[in-house]
Amino acid sequence: MPMTLESLPVELIATILGNLDLESLVKVSNLSRRLRHVASDSTLNPWKRPITQNLASGSYERSFYHLSLRSIVPRSNWIDILTLAPPGFILFESSLPNLKACEWEECFRKRFIPGWLKWKKDNTWRESYIKMLYRVWHRTYTTCTTDEAWTKYIVFNRNGSVNELESSSRGFSPMAIFTEMQFQSNLSHLSPTIRVVAAFTDVRVIAIGVLHMPRSPLTVNRNARALLHPPGIEITDTLEVNLKGNSRALYDSPYGDGCDGPSTVLHPYNKLTRPLPAESHRNYPSYTPGGGDRRWRSFEEEGKQWVGGLMVTVQLIRPRANIGYEEDESEFAGSWNRFASFTWDDLLTIAPWMKERVTKIIDGPGLGM
């Protein structure tokens, strides 16, 4: 008896269908009841691979624009699309799906940083997601700041404390603020260094500090190093992984670098999923190979260390055709009025290990004495 496509196991059929482009998959899924059944199975989900390829390429097939109109496509795929697709495509070009409230909530939490939940108020999750996405698109392409008059940011002090500060959004300039920080710390003669802590769909978290050969251990900002280089995690793939899929590494003492405080302990690092990191930081907080994750580079530059204060803020980013999202730190200086508030709660979401290292959290300026 000759073997046909429909005589194969459903798992193998789903694998074959998953290797088709979207246009072909739409046509094949309508050829027979069995193929339609396989294509609509949310467990087999042959749509995931071509959808992921469309999102990664930035050049969408014609079927991708109105994929939500096809009931055969499992709704779970739309959580990926609404999390990763550019704001302009979702708002102005695509047809939105009919999702449950819990699914809209998942899209919101996977796409946006937690501090932006303040904009939800009494709206439904669908309405909150769409309004937040439009706000991101509007802030990214205009200089309008009427919806957020003050922009919050974080400063790590070398004494172990943290200040949550704010500045007028209309003239918010991280480099101008950091220049004043350098002056107050007697570091004006040194050039600032910019690092991307983590990148997401619409924003990237930026750290601005000074890398220098320290004259004294008292000038070193140990928390700056811990933020960018999670204690115990290295670039190598020698980390032990437990059954839950969490990276485990030697975590140094909050009192120093593991040599001037209590002994080190084994500490788990969970892979961040809410919000979901961009492809350049997909393994965050672990290292992501490929060149986009540059956090470790600063500690390989002839023994330089972070000295003085470290400023952390969040920058809105635009999608770029064919090459993904902006990742180059050199483009940071020319980005005017493309920043949003970043609070201590946001930082604890992306770097929870910092909670036990910080000696004091100060709301506003001052030393918190």
Kindly list the averaged pLDDT for each block of 10 residues, start to end, along the chain of length 369.
72 90 90 90 92 87 89 90 94 92 96 93 93 93 84 94 92 91 91 93 94 85 92 64 45 42 57 93 90 75 85 87 44 65 94 92 75
| Structural tokens at position 361 | 């959290």
Q: Are strands 319-320 and 360-363 parallel, antiparallel or unpaired?
A: unpaired
pLDDT at 336: 57
Please report the pLDDT score of residue 310 as a whole number: 95
pLDDT at 116: 93
The length of the chain is 369
Q: Which one-letter amino acid corresponds to residue 98?
A: N
Torsion of CA 226, 268, 343, 113, to 10 degrees: 130
Q: What pLDDT is attached to residue 213?
A: 87
pTM of this prediction? Answer: 0.84
pLDDT of residue 90: 94
Identify the pLDDT of residue 350.
94
Token pair of 53 as six digits: 């390829």
Instruction: Give 314's strand partners.
Output: 205, 340
Paired with 319 in beta bridges are: 325
